[in-house]
A and B are shown apart, each in its own frame.
Chain A
Amino acid sequence: MVNTIEHTESQVWQLLSTVNDPEVPVLSIVDLGIVRNVSVHNAESITVTITPTYSGCPAMDVISMQIRLVLLEYGFKEVKVEKVLSPAWTTDWMSESGKEKLKAYGIAPPLPKQTVCKPDEFQEEEAIQCPHCLSYHTRLISRFGSTACKALYQCQDCKEPFDYFKCH
């Protein structure tokens, strides 16, 4: 029985890695690191715990619904999607393959060690690498981009504007 549940749980993780973030469709919710826990209670009942990237992330409702749909299709009858806030999501939760996918998609992945968020380093800016030509010669255009989780940059070398998946 234990084996069966473990087996099912790994299959569920597989399934969840097919659910994409509607705002950054190149990333799955597993790449993004917002699935915190999968708990199969029995053959019919399951609880998936997720955490939002931002408090006001409008994608959370869509994501919950998509999780529900794939799991109902898989055969579960009772699907519970719970939201937790702590520990708060940070970009460290994003998988390495997720960061590679972002870059290939044209969005600069978050830097591993963040400085911009610390209030005492108020004036400091990070060097963000251009996802197109890999130059570090870039400038911040706006701290807020097309969605809450991105900032807008421009490359000074290839002149292309790009999104940066900002730190958290």
Chain B
Amino acid sequence: MIIMQEQTMPAEKENAQKAKIDALLHLADDSLIMGHRCSEWCGHGPILEQDIALTNIALDFVGQARNFYQHAAALLQQLPNDMALALADFDITPASITEDSLAYLRNANAYKNHLLVELPNGDWAQTILKIFFFSNYRQILFQQLLKNSDTQLAAIAEKSLKEIQYHVKWSGEWVMRLGDGTDESRERMLKAIDYLWPYVGEFFNCTEYEKTAFELDDTSIDLLKQTWLNTINHTFQLATLPEQTFGKWYQSGGKLGIHTEHLGYILAEMQFLPRTYPNAEW
């Protein structure tokens, strides 16, 4: 018996290790792509204060992405090199595994972000609503991660939550202002809901790596899902927007590397420089 246990342990450990790397890259990719999309508003905001608000939010996301990539890189560096390279799924073999190589040298099909975050910004209502949905999801998930057995993951969640609270509040206020605003702002918010709602189901369609690394089971996932929906509907009610329910069908695939065509364009823009001029420095 003891011998058998010893034989099965490494495989189990390897799976747990792989799940953790996948989950960290998933969190990092979500943050980076959200940050990139928010930064596209720089210089285009409706008024200066809101332009600054979005670039600040972009900065928070990129900062969080760095923390997740750094943690993933640190774990990968402890593994045998072949295994680490395979786990990260690089497109080009990097000189070393760092936060930068993880962001810049992986292809779209190695990226694990939700489809929602890679969608083009659209108008102000779509941008606001995307941040509102995503920040509320992150707030609920990260509260769960505070208890994670990986103390560095818990620490990043703790740090990020302080920033997320501002994003939740800021975007929620805008949802109310637009929903309960003019005919046009309301119309645009309703269109934004129609456009984005098919993508929110993916939040709670958890992959095996999320379940393992985030220490979630079906019951806790269901609870997250209900909490999120109640929170969204609470704000929608204040905004005089229609109550939402989860449909049977939704868009998914991003977390397993199956993306919309939009991600390729983002990566082409983001990765062009480090791929064309390897090791370029400021």
Contacts and interface: CB of A to CB of B under 8 A. Distances in A.
A and B: partners? yes
A69 interface: no
A142 interface: yes
A142 to B, nearest CB: 4
A152 B51 CA distance: 13
Nearest to B63: A56
Interface in B22-49: 49
Interface in A81-140: 84-90, 116-119, 122
Interface in B136-195: 139, 151-152, 154-156, 158-163, 165-166, 168-170, 172
A58 B66 CA distance: 12
A56 B158 contact: no
Interface stretch (B54-62, B91-99, B106-114, B245-253): B54-62
Interface of A: 52, 54-58, 84-90, 116-119, 122, 141-146, 148, 152, 168
A148 B59 CA distance: 8
Interface in B57-85: 57, 59-64, 66-67
B158 A57 contact: no
A84 B169 contact: no
A24 to B, nearest CB: 16
- Chain B's interface: helix, strand, loop or mixed, by majority? helix
Nearest to B235: A122
A56 B61 contact: yes
A56 B166 contact: no
A113 B139 CA distance: 22
16 contacts: A52-B159, A54-B163, A55-B160, A56-B63, A58-B59, A84-B155, A85-B67, A86-B159, A88-B155, A88-B158, A116-B169, A119-B139, A142-B50, A142-B53, A143-B53, A152-B49
A122 B169 CA distance: 7
Contact of A86 (B61, B139, B155, B169): B155
Contacts of A122: 169, 172
